[in-house]
Amino acid sequence: MATTADFKNGLCIKYNGDLWKIESFQHVKPGKGPAFVRTKIRNLNTSRILENTFTAGVKIEIVRIENRAYQFLYQEGAETFHFMNQKDFEQIAIQKDLINAPQYLKEGGIVEIMFHAEQEKPLSCTLPVNVNLKIEFTEPGEKGNTATNALKPAKTETGAEIRVPLFINQGDIVKIDTNSGNYLERVKQ
């Protein structure tokens, strides 16, 4: 058992029968009354964020979590994605709701899967912050139409719909932010 003095960002704890990840915390020592720890914790099952206050020194149960690199193999149906461990080539199937941005998954792409170490249960699957994808379809841009930061719709090789600047053409490779889905830059080929 640990105490609130062991809190750090990214630590996983068991609280109210669920697994939670500490997103941020702050030790507070008011002039009057006992000290406490104000936290923002994320539920690993539902991704819900909760602001919670722990009394300083209270006992908490730390859960051991492991992050492992996996390669995306293929999608089966609309909800199941198959991955392969990079070290022992073991394959695993993960449901769509555990993946942070499934629309940007490309065959052969590397992701990080978070496991509950004692139960060997996958908790979440995280793509890299940026991915490079080829533009499969977009309307051609018109010359003289670039006075402002105008954007046009485009479809990537994974089927994701994004908005890109007018100078991007079909066949270009672009870098996309997986958290926001925004275009970042054109990748030189």
- Domain end point (choices 62, 92, 114): 62
Of the pLDDT bands very low, low, confident and very high (cuts 50, 70, 90), residue 72 is very high
Measured between alpha carbons, how far is 12 from 15 in angstroms, rounded to an integer?
A: 10
In the prediction, which pLDDT does 107 show? 92
- Domain end point (choices 109, 126, 143): 126
Query: Per-residue pLDDT averaged across 146-168, rounded?
Result: 86
Asked if residue 179 and residue 165 are part of one domain, the reply reads yes
Q: What is the DSSP string of 145-160?
A: --SS--EEEEEETTS-
Of the pLDDT bands very low, low, confident and very high (cuts 50, 70, 90), residue 147 is low
Asked if residue 41 and residue 74 are part of one domain, the reply reads no
Q: What domain range includes position 148? A: 130-187
Count the domains in the chain: 3
Output phi, psi for 67, to 5 deg.
-105, 130
184 touches 177 (CB < 8 A) = yes
Residue 189: is its pLDDT beyond 80? no
Residue 53: CB atoms within 10 A of its CB come to 9
| Single-letter amino acid, residue 179 | N
CATH number assigned to the domain comprising residue 17? 2.30.30.30
Q: What is the pTM of this model?
A: 0.78
In the prediction, which pLDDT does 146 show? 58
Q: What is the pLDDT of residues 108-128, one digit of tens each?
A: 999 999 998 888 889 889 999
- Domain end point (choices 126, 147, 164): 126
Asked if residue 150 and residue 180 are part of one domain, the reply reads yes
